[in-house]
Every structure is written in C-alpha cells, then in structure tokens.
Amino acid sequence: MIKENSINELVSFIKKLYIPKYISDREKDTEGYFIPLHEPKFFGNEKKYLLETIDSTFVSSVGAFVDRFENEMVSLINIKRAIALVNGTAALQICLRLAGVKSSDEVLTQALTFIATANSIDYLGAKPIFLDVDRDTMGLSPNALEEFLNDNVELRDDGSYNKKTGKKISACVPMHTFGFMCRIDEIIHICKKWKIPVIEDSAEALGSFYKGKSSGSFGLLSAFSFNGNKIITCGGGGAITTNNDEIANQAKHLTTTAKVPHQWEFFHDKVGYNYRMPNLNAALACAQLEKLDIIKKSKKNIYEQYQSFLKITGIQLVDIPKNTDWNYWLMSVLLENKKDRDMFLEETNKQGIMTRPIWTLMYRLPMYERAQRDSQKNAEYLEERIVNIPSSALV
Ligand SMILES: *Cc1c(COP(=O)(O)O)cnc(C)c1O
C-alpha cells in the first residue's frame, strides 16, 4: 500500500517545482493555489502574429499564417502534405472518411483512449472494435491486433471482413498515448497484410519520434490536435498529415465546404464541411511551433527531476518506452492498485495539485457498451493504476 507520507513528499516536491519563487511562503499555503496538469505557455511571437493577423483583416480560414503553418508542419513531420483544421476531432473524422470508412463498416482502435478517437468513428456511422494496448506504450498492441485478425477476420480481395458481423473493417486507428509512440511499424506491417488503412491518432504526440521518424508520418493519414491542453496550442486547432497528394487535395476540398474554386460562382460538388483552421488560430500555431523545442527541453528537465525524486519515495514514475523519442507531453505514475490510485487522486487534489486518472475505457461508456472487444487485460490494468501528474513546461 502507498504511504501517505510519500504522497505528501511528492506534493511538496511539486509545489517547490511549480509555485513561482515570487510568491511568499505564506501565500504558498493558501488553498487557492492550484497547480494545473498542463498549462499553455505563450512566450514568443503569439501577440505579434495575432496583431498582424487582425491588421491584415484576414482572420478567417484564408490567410498567410494558415499556409505558413501547413508548410511548417510539412517540414517538422517530414511529410508531403499538411492540412490545418478546426480541431483534432474533425481531423480524425476527415481522415476516416478519406481512408474510405463507410457507415456500414467497422474500425479497429484501442479502448484506452480519449473519447474523440471513438466518437470520430461513430460520426461516420461506423462501429468501433476495441483492442488491447501494450503495457509499456499504452498504445494499440500489435499482438492483440494480429490475434484479433487471425481469430475473427477473413481476408478477401477487396479488404478484411469480420466473420461475426459480416462487416468490412475499413480502418485501424492506433493512438500515441501521452506522446509515447505505439509499436507503429509493426501495426502498419500487420494492417498492410490485411489491407486495412492505418490512421494515426497523433493528437498527443506532436514532437514525438519513433526510430527517428516523426509521429504522424507512418499512417496513410494522421490527425494532430492543438487544443489548449496539448504540448502546443492555438486555442483550438487540428491538422491532417499525409504523403498522398490526391488524398491531401480531397482533405482540403472537403473541409472547405467542397467549393469548386472559381472567381465568383458558388458551386459545391459534395456535402462538405466548414472545418478549416482560421488564420487567427494559425497565427498562434505558428508562434507556438517556433517554441516547440524549448518546451520539450523544459519538460524533459522536469521529467528528470521527477525521476530522481520519485526513486526515493516508492512511487513509480512511468518509464519512456523503448524506441520513443518522447515529447514529454503528459507524465504519469503507476500506482499499485485501484485503492492506492484513488487515495493518491484524493490526497493530491485535496492539497492543490491537479492529478487525473487515465481515461475510463470506452466500452464502459453507454454509447460504446455493446462494441466488440478483446480481452483488454493491459487496458484494464492501466485503467486502475495510471495517474497523470503536473507536467507543464517551466519557461
Ligand atoms: C485531444 C485529443 C483529440 C481531439 O482533439 P481536439 O482538438 O480536442 O478535438 C483526439 N484524440 C486524442 C487522443 C486526444 O488527446
């Protein structure tokens, strides 16, 4: 069982780390001082670029910063194309649609994820199938994937079909939990054999690399998020990345109301979406991208401080999985059991430190209760034990 004393020691450590030095000792003890899990940091050209955008009057989804942001994503991810969207959920939805997912289909993903992964599948009318994760990466397990496919799926000329439901399995969406890279090369390899397109949910993994390659460069398509809680933010925003020019053009067209370009005619050739990122947000995104490396470096330093401190308390910091060059987005501890987890959450939050459990598994939620799933041994193990701790950069 976890010692209350080690929780208290960790609480003082986090307070020392995060409460600014200019606050007097007396104030530090006030109940009002709450240390968040992950704060956005604006310390670069954010205001300058925002003012430029306002002065230009190009505040909506056409503008110089949108183009610039897309070009910068292309270089960072080392990919052919990037399309800036309103948020990560919309990006996932469009990825799935362009991968060919239809309302009669099924999509493989993990149950241990943020709700947006599953919802984006449902938006298309498709059904998620939840597979287990690996304990070390907390991302989709290639072993679980292969086992499910071998036991339940029939490979035909035009793709894979679920033997139980007769439905086509038209995509697989692994997610890089907290910026840890899942075993993406193995997943791509398996899915290729089974003719299933892979879409990376890279919402949490901007700045993470796997065997030297950026997250968001492995799948047919990938989705990023720039929401306020992510490693960098533009208020709300997302991006799709792909090496396929044809798909990239479709992504841009479909998210720009499917308007056929013309000087004055309004002609739309399908039901499109108004999903493009506004230039105001892109201005913020460009300024934030410039600071990504500094933010990562600071977070690495914080992780290392946690590492040396936690070694002496008996609380286990979650290790970086092999092959991940991590962005250090959200750090976490692994408690011994659910009882310890609940006590840890209770005590830390009571003492002004924001900590949060990992997500409730998708099939425990009413909308996804009836979804097909495998054993979930690792997902359930992690669900009972993982807690995120404050991880903001100090810049
Ligand atoms: C944040 C997040 C999303 C959704 O991104 P939004 O920009 O908030 O819509 C999707 N998937 C995962 C895993 C996320 O963490």
CA distance to 8, 12, 25, 320, per residue, from 29 (Å): 14, 10, 7, 33
In this prediction, residue 26 carries a pLDDT of: 62
- Structure pTM? 0.97
CA 30 / ligand 1 centre spacing (Å): 33
Q: Which amino acid is at 127?
A: K
The dihedrals phi and psi of 143, each to the nearest 5 degrees, come to -65, -45
215 touches ligand 1 (CB under 6 Å): no
In this prediction, residue 368 carries a pLDDT of: 98
In this prediction, residue 3 carries a pLDDT of: 83
87 touches ligand 1 (CB under 6 Å): yes
CA 89 / ligand 1 centre spacing (Å): 6
Choose among 122, 69, 115, 56: nearest CA to 238. Answer: 69
120 touches ligand 1 (CB under 6 Å): no
69 touches ligand 1 (CB under 6 Å): no
**187 token code pair:** 């997943």
Among 109, 121, 204, name the best residue to mutate to test ligand 1's pocket (greatest count of ligand atoms within 8 A of Cβ): 204
d(CA 171, CA 274): 24
Burial class (CB in 10 A: 0-12, 13-18, 19+), 33: middle
CA distance to 31, 113, 146, per residue, from 173 (Å): 42, 11, 14
d(CA 330, CA 302): 11
Q: Which atom of ligand 1 is nearest to the CA of 236?
A: 7
CA 237 / ligand 1 centre spacing (Å): 10
* pLDDT, tens only, 241-280: 999 999 999 999 999 999 999 999 999 999 999 999 999 9
174 touches ligand 1 (CB under 6 Å): no
Domain boundaries, the chain: 4-41+292-389, 46-290
250 touches ligand 1 (CB under 6 Å): no
CA 43 / ligand 1 centre spacing (Å): 24
CA 174 / ligand 1 centre spacing (Å): 13
Tally of CB atoms within 10 A around 354 = 16
- Name beta bridge partners: 386: 334
Tally of CB atoms within 10 A around 288 = 27
Map tokens 């490693």 to a residue.
231
Among 85, 87, 89, name the best residue to mutate to test ligand 1's pocket (greatest count of ligand atoms within 8 A of Cβ): 89
222 touches ligand 1 (CB under 6 Å): no
Q: Which fold has domain 4-41+292-389?
A: Aspartate Aminotransferase, domain 1 (3.90.1150)
CA 205 / ligand 1 centre spacing (Å): 10
Q: Which atom of ligand 1 is nearest to the CA of 226?
A: 7
Given a contact cutoff of 8 angstroms between Cβ atoms, the answer to whether 368 and 362 are in contact is yes
CA distance to 91, 168, 177, 224, per residue, from 116 (Å): 10, 22, 13, 12
Per-residue pLDDT tens digits of the chain, which is 395 residues long: 888 899 999 999 999 999 876 666 666 555 667 899 999 999 999 999 999 999 999 999 899 999 999 999 999 999 999 999 999 999 999 999 999 999 999 999 999 999 999 999 999 999 999 999 999 999 999 999 999 999 999 999 999 999 999 999 999 999 999 999 999 999 999 999 999 999 999 999 999 999 999 999 999 999 999 999 999 999 999 999 999 999 999 999 999 999 999 999 999 999 999 999 999 999 999 999 999 999 999 999 999 999 999 998 889 999 999 999 999 999 999 999 999 999 999 999 999 999 999 999 999 999 999 999 999 999 999 999 999 999 999 99
In this prediction, residue 4 carries a pLDDT of: 83
CA 116 / ligand 1 centre spacing (Å): 6
CA 311 / ligand 1 centre spacing (Å): 32
- What residue's CA is closest to ligand 1, atom 10? 116
The second-level CATH assignment, the architecture, of 46-290 is 3-Layer(aba) Sandwich (3.40)
CA 267 / ligand 1 centre spacing (Å): 32
- What residue's CA is closest to ligand 1, atom 6? 88
- Name beta bridge partners: 161: 154, 168
CA 199 / ligand 1 centre spacing (Å): 14
Choose among 183, 156, 180: nearest CA to 172. Answer: 183
Say whether 333 sits in a helix, a strand or coil: strand
Same topology, domains 4-41+292-389 and 46-290? Answer is no
Map tokens 């490979």 to a residue.
155
Q: Contacts by 337-344 with C-beta closer than 8 Å and gap 24+?
A: 337/384, 337/385, 338/384, 338/385, 339/1, 340/1, 340/2, 340/385, 341/384, 341/385, 341/386, 341/387, 343/2, 343/4, 343/7, 344/2, 344/7, 344/315, 344/387
* DSSP secondary structure of 179-237: GPPP-HHHHHHHHHHTT--BEEE-TT-TT-EETTEETTSSSSEEEEE--TTSSS--SS-
In this prediction, residue 71 carries a pLDDT of: 98
Q: Which atom of ligand 1 is nearest to the CA of 113?
A: 13
d(CA 324, CA 381): 22
